[in-house]
A and B are shown apart, each in its own frame.
Chain A
């Protein structure tokens, strides 16, 4: 990040339209900070990977508004999330600490995600009600329907949010999960982070409809497309979906249009399948920068606060890396722990 310059809009300011959200300044700044932090942690992961200090990473860059905007409409510690590998922004908002993120990234013993067993970015945290996912894409979708069914049976007010990419919506798991959730009017929200690529395969080569939102009609549930680079637009849509779910009106499919700023993962070279200009122009819509600008325009983020925020984030990232890298690796004797079910443990 580093190079965030003062946006031009500040100099030629007009009275901006009111923000039309039920969030106060402190909450808006917290959302902004989580987005900035997501980006900063992610950028650091790439550096560490390229330095040979970590073997793999897969990015949230470009998706931050969709992630934090949706998570911000959930209740921390009560609602359940089933994120996919890009959802650093979701798990940070739901309470995972940067240290925990880096413990998982370096596969350390104290990693709460899986004790270093899972690949990096396979989020899971029992205490925060973040449900661990598998590497095959889409498996979390029917799981989410099951989790939401449990909440319904137990008469808990819990809402479940499950995340996936647009490529994943062509999987059978998507179909079965949405069908089941719609039949039983389950309190679950299906959030698609629609970045137009499934690794190298562009959207039009893997689905026939123009949007993912359209697919909702096949399940008789609302499907809402939203600009995923606009965190408040995302929040408003998610907010309505959460209210619907919590009041027993059933599931919603949200199609957030985002850009993937990086190659698919640290093992991918996207220059072979998309022109660099495409990413360059997408970066004009950088969700983090856009939101920071909005807050500045609305006098919700002063220059001093902005400066302070970035300093804080830089320190947090630094601390997390140092902490995690110095943490012990899992002991060889513990090889089979967290792999098979253990009696007496939950």
Chain B
């Protein structure tokens, strides 16, 4: 992704939002002066999507031979999430996993496209739909699966479960069950970064339903006022439990909402990995180099119910079919194959690899010991 991060995107309809000048590559240390410029220039806008192959300039991630390896890796990440989540669903119905469990199935392009733009030392605040986020961040599938099983070998020793994956080393600052809560926490991390004068970025991931919570408003307000380096990534899967977005949001275009804070916002096709990658790369640059927080809305869909407890009877099958036809894993594979960047046997190998990782994770989780009752209060209090 290095190439992706160094070159600014160039597309005619992005012009109004571009920084006037490309900052020198690699120069993230100094605190740039306050970014003035007329408000309109930074005003939230919706972006059309140019479709596959539309990301012109060489050096950026595109379906071209020099990106072959990287693109295959990204497809593999999506496949891993899908296989992992399918196994989680199976294990849940077999009562190996308790509590609430929320799957990323359908959202893979958004998850992979967004998280792959970050540096290993950047921070991530996720929500309860966090398995895929943790996988892309590099947390071992077995450590996540064991966590879901509530085993001692889980990433937080089985104490957190599905909704509370946490890994300090990877700066994965947690899944959280409270809708909107992580936005305020992300502001705390952003303040710490500014206080220490670091060139780090915080990515905060939440659903469109969360944007109706007071925390959303307060967090965006502070982030903008204090110039916190935060990328607010709204995964708009169009439902908050059974509520469609227009039932709980007065403005269903989430990208418009940051206008209340004079903050840039944009919408991107969340089923298109490269489109997400491009938009978030820009948001990350804005945060890292200019301490300008922004919001990216990725329009996507969850193929399953809200959680394992939800049969999702509140939406018509025709609607689901429309989004199933845009399955990011299928379409990305087609694009790669059409561009001659992935042979069927390569795809099969990637599939097998993902399957093997998931099998191993499930076996590991199954075989792992439960926490000792005597350890009950460990990692509970400071």
Given B217, B250, B257, B260, which contacts A183 in the complex, CB threshold below 8 Å? B250
Whether A182 contacts B250 in the complex (CB less than 8 A), given A208-B262, A208-B263, A210-B39, comes out as yes
Q: Chain B contact residues: over half helix, strand or loop, or mixed?
A: helix
B221 at the interface (CB under 8 A from A): yes
> Which residues of the partner chain B approach A175 to less than 8 Å between Cβ atoms?
212-214, 216-218, 260
- Check B260–A173 contact: CB distance below 8 A: no
Instruction: Tell which of A12-20, A24-32, A212-220 binds the partner.
Output: A212-220
B303 at the interface (CB under 8 A from A): no
- Check B225–A176 contact: CB distance below 8 A: no
Which residues A175-225 have CB closer than 8 A to chain B? 175-176, 178-183, 205-210, 214-215, 217-221
- Check B225–A218 contact: CB distance below 8 A: no
- Check A176–B214 contact: CB distance below 8 A: yes
Whether A176 contacts B213 in the complex (CB less than 8 A), given A183-B250, A208-B221, comes out as yes
- Check B249–A206 contact: CB distance below 8 A: no
Complex CA distance for A175 and B216, rounded to whole angstroms: 9
> Which residues of the partner chain A approach B259 to less than 8 Å between Cβ atoms?
209, 214, 217-218
Given A174, A206, A209, which contacts B217 in the complex, CB threshold below 8 Å? A174
Whether A171 contacts B260 in the complex (CB less than 8 A), given A178-B250, A183-B248, A221-B250, comes out as no
- Check B249–A179 contact: CB distance below 8 A: yes
- Check B263–A172 contact: CB distance below 8 A: no
Whether A183 contacts B225 in the complex (CB less than 8 A), given A171-B218, A208-B262, A208-B263, comes out as no
B215 at the interface (CB under 8 A from A): yes
B258: min CB distance to chain A, Å: 8
- Check A219–B251 contact: CB distance below 8 A: yes
B241 at the interface (CB under 8 A from A): no
Given A172, A183, A218, which contacts B213 in the complex, CB threshold below 8 Å? A172
Q: Give the one of A207, A210, A214, A218 with max B CB within 10 A.
A: A218
> Which residues of the partner chain A approach B225 to less than 8 Å between Cβ atoms?
205-208
Complex CA distance for A179 and B258, rounded to whole angstroms: 14
Which residues A158-179 have CB closer than 8 A to chain B? 170-176, 178-179
A168: min CB distance to chain B, Å: 12
Which residues B253-280 have CB closer than 8 A to chain A? 256-263
Complex CA distance for A157 and B382, rounded to whole angstroms: 56
B224 at the interface (CB under 8 A from A): yes
Whether A218 contacts B256 in the complex (CB less than 8 A), given A172-B217, A210-B39, comes out as yes
- Check A217–B213 contact: CB distance below 8 A: no
> Which residues of the partner chain A approach B213 to less than 8 Å between Cβ atoms?
172, 175-176
Q: Give the one of A171, A172, A178, A215 with max B CB within 10 A.
A: A172
Complex CA distance for A208 and B293, rounded to whole angstroms: 12
- Check B256–A172 contact: CB distance below 8 A: no
Whether A173 contacts B262 in the complex (CB less than 8 A), given A183-B249, A210-B39, A217-B256, comes out as no
> Which residues of the partner chain B approach A178 to less than 8 Å between Cβ atoms?
250
- Check B260–A179 contact: CB distance below 8 A: no
Per-residue A-contact encoding for B52-89, CB less than 8 Å = 1, 0 else: 00000000000000000000000000000000000000
Whether A183 contacts B247 in the complex (CB less than 8 A), given A176-B212, A207-B225, A217-B259, comes out as yes
A184: min CB distance to chain B, Å: 9
> Which residues of the partner chain A approach B258 to less than 8 Å between Cβ atoms?
218
> Which residues of the partner chain A approach B261 to less than 8 Å between Cβ atoms?
207-209
> Which residues of the partner chain B approach A182 to less than 8 Å between Cβ atoms?
250-251
A216: min CB distance to chain B, Å: 8
Whether A179 contacts B263 in the complex (CB less than 8 A), given A174-B217, A210-B39, comes out as no
Complex CA distance for A174 and B262, rounded to whole angstroms: 17
* Chain B residue, CB-CB nearest to A176: B214
A205: min CB distance to chain B, Å: 7
B227: min CB distance to chain A, Å: 10
- Check B218–A170 contact: CB distance below 8 A: yes
* Chain A residue, CB-CB nearest to B254: A218
Whether A215 contacts B260 in the complex (CB less than 8 A), given A170-B218, A172-B215, A208-B225, comes out as yes
Complex CA distance for A324 and B39, rounded to whole angstroms: 52
> Which residues of the partner chain B approach A217 to less than 8 Å between Cβ atoms?
251, 256, 259-260
* Chain B residue, CB-CB nearest to A138: B214
B45: min CB distance to chain A, Å: 13
- Check A179–B250 contact: CB distance below 8 A: yes
Whether A218 contacts B257 in the complex (CB less than 8 A), given A182-B250, A183-B248, A208-B224, comes out as yes
Which residues B220-264 have CB closer than 8 A to chain A? 221, 224-225, 247-251, 256-263
Complex CA distance for A205 and B218, rounded to whole angstroms: 13
> Which residues of the partner chain A approach B249 to less than 8 Å between Cβ atoms?
179, 183
* Chain A residue, CB-CB nearest to B263: A208
> Which residues of the partner chain A approach B248 to less than 8 Å between Cβ atoms?
179, 183
Complex CA distance for A318 and B225, rounded to whole angstroms: 47
A217: min CB distance to chain B, Å: 5
Which residues A273-317 have CB closer than 8 A to chain B? none
Complex CA distance for A221 and B214, rounded to whole angstroms: 18
B95: min CB distance to chain A, Å: 38
Complex CA distance for A176 and B217, rounded to whole angstroms: 9
Complex CA distance for A125 and B321, rounded to whole angstroms: 55
- Check A209–B260 contact: CB distance below 8 A: yes
A90: min CB distance to chain B, Å: 25
A268: min CB distance to chain B, Å: 23
> Which residues of the partner chain A approach B217 to less than 8 Å between Cβ atoms?
170-172, 174-176
- Check A207–B39 contact: CB distance below 8 A: no
- Check B221–A170 contact: CB distance below 8 A: yes
A142: min CB distance to chain B, Å: 9
- Check B250–A220 contact: CB distance below 8 A: yes
Given A176, A207, A214, which contacts B221 in the complex, CB threshold below 8 Å? A207
> Which residues of the partner chain B approach A208 to less than 8 Å between Cβ atoms?
221, 224-225, 261-263
* Chain A residue, CB-CB nearest to B217: A175
A and B contact pairs by CB, cutoff 8 A, 5 listed: A175-B260, A176-B212, A176-B214, A178-B250, A183-B250
Which A residues are within 8 Å of any B CB, using their own CB? 170-176, 178-183, 205-210, 214-215, 217-221
Q: 6 extra interchain contacts, Cβ-Cβ under 8 A, other than A205-B225, A218-B251, A221-B250?
A: A170-B217, A176-B213, A182-B250, A183-B247, A206-B221, A208-B225
Which B residues are within 8 Å of any A CB, using their own CB? 39, 212-218, 221, 224-225, 247-251, 256-263
Give the 6 A-B CB pairs with smallest separation, nearest first. A172-B214, A182-B250, A175-B217, A218-B260, A215-B260, A208-B224
